[in-house]
Structure 1
Amino acid sequence: MTTETGLRERKKQQTRQRIQDCAIELFARSGFDKVPVAAIARAADVSEATVFNYFPAKEDLVYEGMEAFENALIAAVRDRPDGTSVVSAFRHFVLQPRGALADSEPAGIERIATVARLTAGSPALQGRERQTFDRFTQALAELVAAERGVRPDDPEAWVAANALMGVNRAMKTSVHRQALAGQSGRRIAKDVLALGRRALDLLEDGLGT
């Protein structure tokens, strides 16, 4: 049973990856807003229902990885060791190279550049990105407020969450810009992690300094 379960899971993962790869290829060729889900299903040799089973919204085909990153970031802050500050936990997580930035293969950076171009040309993807950042900023603010024993709309918790997520957004923007410029993963990782360190140092030292 364990072997059969593992085989089923591998097949599901292969199907998921095939759907996403076909979608990105079609989006890159024609633009996100002009490619219907039916075309993605045909290219991946699956039904439209299967596409939606794996990706509930069309935008998930592009932003699933971003959502996974933000979920992991919130979990890292929430589950941080006793005595570790929110900023320290946030710093530790975002300053770890991962994904394409930890891989020397150029294909990963080209995928990032493709996503950057798609987002720049799609109001739908731009809206999804804003919604994602807003949702996770709210989640972080609620987490900070709960630990401080204050209301979820406490201004200090809200300011802290927005400042931290601003660093996250700045790092993402830098990655996209450099990927579009053709920089290597190693160079991008070095620059964006330095940017993150400077920004988080500023927050830890206090904006007044």
Structure 2
Amino acid sequence: MSEQLGLRERKKLETRQRIIDVALALFDKRGFERVPVAEIARASDVSEATVFNYFPSKEDLVYGGMQAYEDELVAAVAARPDGTSAVTAFRDFVLEPRGALAADDDGTATAAVARAARIIAGSQTLQAREQRIVDHATDALAELIARDGEAPPGLGPWVAANALMGVHRAMTRLAQRLASEGHKGAEVGRTVRAQGAAAFALLEKGLDALPV
């Protein structure tokens, strides 16, 4: 029974990945808005209903991973050990090597990052979805900071949350740019983490540390 369940889950994962691969290839070729879900379903050899079973919206074909990452990020801050600040928990999570930027590869992983960046850059719908995901994570983070009294009341928690998320988004943009320029995973990862660490250090010191 367990072997059957394992096989069933593997097939589900394979189907999910096939749908993503087909969708991203079509989006990259023709643009997100110009590719209907029905065409993605036909090219993936599944029904349109199956696509929506795996992905509640068309945008989730591109942003499902980002949504999960942001949720994990907020959860990591919420579950941080006693004595660990929200800033430290956020920084440690964001700077942890993972995914396409964690190891050397033949360029396949970073090519996928560059492709996603192209698709998003060509779609206002996707850009709006990305902003909603970021806004939701920022609000959740601000609530955590306010709850734990780690910033002055009033605008303090919101400012702190936006500053932290700003570093995170800047790191993402840098990774996309470097990937688009043809740099490989480990190289991109090292550069992004180094610049991210420097940015977090600036936040910890305060903006007075900026050169004039």
Q: What TM-score do the two structures reach when normalised by structure 2?
A: 0.94
Cα separation, 1, equivalents of 2:104 and 2:151? 45
CA distance in 2, matches of 1:40, 1:33: 12
Counterpart for residue 146 of structure 2: 145
- Identify if the C-alpha distance between structure 1 residues 30 and 78 changes in structure 2 by more than 3 Å, giving closer, same or farther: same
- 2:151–2:160 CA contact under 8 A, matched in 1: no
Q: Alpha-carbon deviations, 1:137-193, whole Å to 9, x = none?
A: 011011111222999x83111011000000001000101111111111122111111
Shift of 1:120: 0.8
Contact 2:86 2:150 in 1 (8 A): no
* Counterpart amino acid of residue 128 in structure 2: G
Q: 1:150 to 1:186 in 2, by over 3 A?
A: closer
Distance 1:177 1:149 in 2: 33
Partner of 1:123: 124
Aligned residue in 1 for 2:110: 109
- Paired with 2:139 and 2:154, the residues of 1 have a C-alpha distance of 11
The answer to whether the 8 A contact 2:150-2:157 is kept is: no
- Residues 102-126 of structure 1: CA deviation (Å, up to 9, x unaligned): 1322111000000000111111111
Write out aligned runs for 1:182-201 (5 A). Answer: 182-201=182-201
Structure 2 partner of 1:11 = 11
> What RMSD in Å do the two structures reach over aligned CA positions?
1.6
Give CA deviations for 1:81-122 in whole Å, capped at 9, x if unaligned: 110111111111111111000132211100000000011111
Within a 5 Å distance, the mapping from 1:22-61 to structure 2 comes to 22-61=22-61
Report the Cα distance in structure 2 between the residues aligned to 1:193 and 1:102, rounded to whole angstroms.
Answer: 10
Unaligned 5+ segments in structure 1 are none
The CA distance in 1 between the partners of 2:27 and 2:199, in whole Å, is 34
CA distance in 2, matches of 1:48, 1:154: 47
Gaps of 5+ in 2: none
Tell me the SS of whatever aligns to 1:191: helix
Q: Which residue of 1 aligns with 2:160?
A: 160
Deviations 1:9-66 (A, max 9, x none): 1111111011111101111111111100001000100011100010001111011111
Whole-angstrom CA distance in 1 between matches of 2:73 and 2:141: 9
- Say which SS state the counterpart of residue 148 (structure 2) adopts: helix
Taking the aligned partners of 1:149 and 1:18, their CA distance within structure 2 comes to 44
Amino acid at match of 1:28: D
The residue type equivalent to 1:36 in the other structure is: P
1:148 is paired with a residue of what secondary structure? coil
Query: C-alpha distance in 2, partners of 1:187/1:11?
Result: 33
AA aligned opposite 1:144 = I
Ranges of 4+ aligned residues in structure 1 off by more than 3 Å: none
Moved more, 24-33 or 157-166: 24-33
- Percent identical across equivalent pairs? 56
Counterpart code for 1:119:
I
